[in-house]
Structure 1
Amino acid sequence: MPLLALPFPAIDPVAVAIGPITIKWYALAYIAGLVGGWYYARRLVMADRLWGVVRRPTLNEIDDLIVWVALGVVLGGRLGYVLFYNLPMYLADPIEIFAIRNGGMSFHGGFLGAILAMLIFARARKLNGYTLLDLAAVTVPIGLFFGRIANFVNGELWGRIAPDFPYAVVFPSGGPLPRHPSQLYEAATEGFLLFVVMALCVRRFGFRKPGLLGGIFVLGYALARTFCEFFREPDRQLGYLFGADLGPLGGGVTMGMLLCLPMALVGLAYIVLAARGHTRPRRPVEEAGDVPVKA
């Protein structure tokens, strides 16, 4: 092992095994993110001072929404990975598309799948779609944090080679050279840091300007992910789309960076629209015939 390197901790990717049934840390990360987001969303919905005249979902609707979002994340995440990251392989062997146990999920795909699920749910329940997106924006970093920790436990999505970095890690499937533990960087920025930012924003603005919190989250994620992409090894089948690897914070445009560009633009657009009042409800809650929040 190189002098400036840490050994990869020997963590079994299987958290629980009961006979032929196995539960992996990655699956538990998804469950922790969904349950944590569900609990936090319920707490936010019950905080009267955050909503003003904007109609909020009921607690029962939050319970139903989590199922829709879970399906959107899983289906969208898998489809996004297939389309964005490894389409030739799946075209050659289409049955592998359904082999989710072998890994392969895209955040950008899961993000779009969750948005679509929430918009359909909002239309079905006659809710403001922007409001649901804002609620999701505040809770999503919980799932991002646990998901990136699970990536580290699995020893996947490791970073670029960093022979002189004192906290570099030699990953079992990453070759003999030490690499940046980029999964932990993403957990810290896309997860913990973004959660703190969104918590401060919801405390300051509440949900009174639909679309504002969603725009802040989308922009914040795009910036955090782009930063971390400078330390993360690009997918082997894609490599660098433009340029070459010139080391941390220098060169090498990846697919993750490319997908974050439209996210940043959309986030900025919604921040401006919400700040100017273009997304506000047209009539007060009392006139809309809304039901009370308590279930």
Structure 2
Amino acid sequence: MLNDLYHALDPVAFSIGPLTVRWYGIAYMLGFACAAPIIARTARRWKINVSMDALSTIVFFVVLGVIVGGRLGYAVFYGNGYFFEHPAEILALGKGGMSFHGGLIGVLVGGAIAARLTRIPFLTLGDLGAIAAPVGLFFGRCANFVNGELWGAPTDAPWGVVFGGAAGMVARHPTQLYEATLEGIVLFAVLMVLAHRAPWRPRGLFLGAFLTLYGCARFAVEFVRLPDEQLGYLYGGWLTMGQVLSVPLVLAGVALIAFALIKRLPQEGAPTAGLPDASDDTDASHSAAA
């Protein structure tokens, strides 16, 4: 069924005269459109004052960070030297090529600027953004599937997909859908449960959880996702650039979670009831055990 579904899909959503709209562009717009209300709603729940002007500033710098960071990250991490010889090609966004890890760096830089302008603590803003980010990842990975790119290794599994073209007429792992599920649905569900059900929400916990869980999910899927053709495997016929770049995310995420649990800084404006006092040894030991 998936094979028939894929062959019925066109990367182009619609065309109006010279204007061509692709599903990948729609995925980006849906991701940003969904992120704004999620951030606003979570901020209200945490009693953090995020005005419409502040929200607009946040979205602007996040969008800018995703596009600039994603493209530069692709050029540096996956270009294999091509973009150093053809720097003008970096601006050719229409030819594709975006890196999540580069986009993440861009978002963190843009978030730091937005935090300074809106006077919202960087980690609080990072936590809000981390909760919304999986939605954008979900739409992006679905668009990768529609485009028939970033496919996986051959498989005999009943859900294998024949992508055709450069992928050949062989059933392959639909790794785009694996990532849409893990990086999108599962990660969003975990962070939403933490955001709405956890008795306390130390600053930095959600960003740390996002980095850790995304890094683990990406590292795992890379075992069945074929590497970019221009790079291939980096070591031993299994290590990919995606895995190499995901390891620092996991380490940074674990460190940030530890920082959040040790410092226990409340989200700005959020009620501190239930948040252990760092000076209370009993509560501190209870938090460490949790």
**TM-score category of the 2 structures, normalised to the smaller one:** 0.7 to 0.9
* Corresponding position of 1:256: 242
Q: Does 1:234 align with 2:220?
A: no
* Corresponding position of 1:186: 179
How many residue pairs are counted as aligned between the two chains?
269
* Corresponding position of 2:210: 217
2:239 partner SS: coil
- Equivalent residue letter for 1:46: R
Match of 1:135 among 128, 146, 150: 128
**Cα distance, 1:125 vs. partner?**
2.6
- Equivalent residue letter for 2:43: V
Q: Distance in 2 between matches of 1:154 and 1:207?
A: 41
Are residues 206 and 142 of structure 1, via their aligned partners in 2, closer, same or farther at CA, if it must alter by over 3 Å? farther
Are residues 279 and 243 of structure 1, via their aligned partners in 2, closer, same or farther at CA, if it must alter by over 3 Å? farther
Q: Distance in 2 between matches of 1:139 and 1:97?
A: 28
Match of 2:157 among 165, 189, 195: 165
Question: Structure 2: where are the runs of 5+ without partners?
Answer: 271-290
Alpha carbons 2:152, 2:226 under 8 Å: kept: yes
Q: Distance in 2 between matches of 1:66 and 1:100?
A: 20
**Cα distance, 1:208 vs. partner?**
4.0
Which is richer in helix? 2
**Cα distance, 1:276 vs. partner?**
1.1
Question: Structure 1: where are the runs of 5+ without partners?
Answer: 245-251, 286-295
Alpha carbons 1:234, 1:254 under 8 Å: kept: yes
1:48-78 residue CA offsets vs partner (Å, 9 max, x unmatched): xx34xxx543333112210110000000000
1:158 partner SS: coil
**Cα distance, 1:94 vs. partner?**
2.0
**Cα distance, 1:95 vs. partner?**
1.9
Q: Distance in 2 between matches of 1:175 and 1:284?
A: 55
Are residues 68 and 284 of structure 1, via their aligned partners in 2, closer, same or farther at CA, if it must alter by over 3 Å? closer
| TM-score, normalised via structure 1 length | 0.86
1:136-172 residue CA offsets vs partner (Å, 9 max, x unmatched): 010000000000000000001111111x222111112
Q: Distance in 2 between matches of 1:155 and 1:203?
A: 36
Identity among equivalent pairs (%): 43
Q: Distance in 2 between matches of 1:277 and 1:5?
A: 48
1:5-46 residue CA offsets vs partner (Å, 9 max, x unmatched): 934322121112110011100000000000000111111122
Q: Distance in 1 between matches of 2:87 and 2:54?
A: 36
- Equivalent residue letter for 1:11: L
Q: What are the residue-to-residue correspondences of 1:56-67 with 2, within 5 Å?
A: 56-67=49-60
- Equivalent residue letter for 1:166: P
Alpha carbons 1:108, 1:259 under 8 Å: kept: yes
1:153-204 residue CA offsets vs partner (Å, 9 max, x unmatched): 0001111111x22211111221122110100000010001101011011113
Q: Does 1:119 align with 2:112?
A: yes
* Corresponding position of 2:3: 6
**Cα distance, 1:127 vs. partner?**
1.9
1:61-117 residue CA offsets vs partner (Å, 9 max, x unmatched): 112210110000000000000000014111222221111111100000001100110
Are residues 78 and 129 of structure 1, via their aligned partners in 2, closer, same or farther at CA, if it must alter by over 3 Å? same
Alpha carbons 2:57, 2:114 under 8 Å: kept: no
Q: Distance in 2 between matches of 1:6 and 1:17?
A: 25
* Corresponding position of 1:153: 146
Alpha carbons 2:12, 2:20 under 8 Å: kept: yes
Alpha carbons 2:234, 2:241 under 8 Å: kept: yes
Q: Does 1:203 align with 2:201?
A: no
**Cα distance, 1:284 vs. partner?**
7.6
| TM-score, normalised via structure 2 length | 0.87
Match of 1:271 among 234, 242, 257: 257
Alpha carbons 1:45, 1:59 under 8 Å: kept: no
- Equivalent residue letter for 2:42: L
- Equivalent residue letter for 2:157: F
